[in-house]
């Protein structure tokens, strides 16, 4: 069981990798903040996709863990949309959506951490 859990956790490197790639790209274009958000979103998406793809190859995987993969992908899409929105419509999105997104992510992390 421990070996199977370790195998599923190997996809967590996508999130910090995406952040660093986004940060570097954003620094090149003069918007490191937006680069980090887009990289974070891409990291969540890739982490969820590869995690789910690895689980599809197993005979029995719990539905709750598959749901968490889809939730990770959804959060990634939200970060991507948020980053693109800040790039194209900064005055409309920043004050309200950023606060709601950060609060939602914080609650999700706390609830998900307590369930384990």
Please give the residue that has the higher pLDDT: either 1 or 41.
41
Determine the Cα angle at 52 with ends 15 and 25, to 5°.
25
pLDDT tens-digit readout, 42-75: 999 998 888 887 776 665 555 556 677 888 888 8
| Region class of 8: left (phi > 0), else alpha (psi between -120 and 50), else beta | alpha
- In the three-class reduction of DSSP (H, G, I as helix; E, B as strand; rest coil), residue 116 is classed as coil
Please give the residue that has the higher pLDDT: either 54 or 8.
54
| pLDDT value at residue 1 | 45
Residues ≥6 apart with Cβ < 8 Å to 98: 82, 86
| pLDDT value at residue 106 | 80
Whats the size of the chain, residue-wise? 116
Instruction: Delimit the domains of the chain by residue range.
Output: 2-115
Number of H helices, E strands in the chain: 5, 0
Alpha-carbon span 15 to 104, nearest angstrom: 18
Q: Which tokens in the block code for residue 82?
A: 């948020």
pLDDT tens-digit readout, 69-100: 888 888 888 888 888 888 887 776 666 776 77
């Amino acid at each position: 069981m421990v070996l199977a859990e370790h195998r599923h956790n190997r996809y967590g490197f996508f999130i910090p990798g995406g952040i660093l790639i986004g940060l570097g790209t954003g620094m090149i274009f003069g918007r490191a903040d937006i680069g980090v958000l887009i990289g974070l979103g891409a990291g969540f998406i890739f982490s969820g996709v590869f995690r789910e793809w690895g689980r599809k190859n197993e005979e029995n995987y719990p539905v709750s863990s598959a749901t968490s993969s889809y939730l990770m992908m959804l959060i990634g899409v939200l970060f991507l949309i948020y980053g693109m929105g800040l790039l194209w419509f900064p005055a409309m999105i920043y004050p309200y959506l950023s606060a709601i997104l950060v609060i939602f992510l914080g609650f999700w992390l706390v609830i998900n951490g307590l369930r384990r």
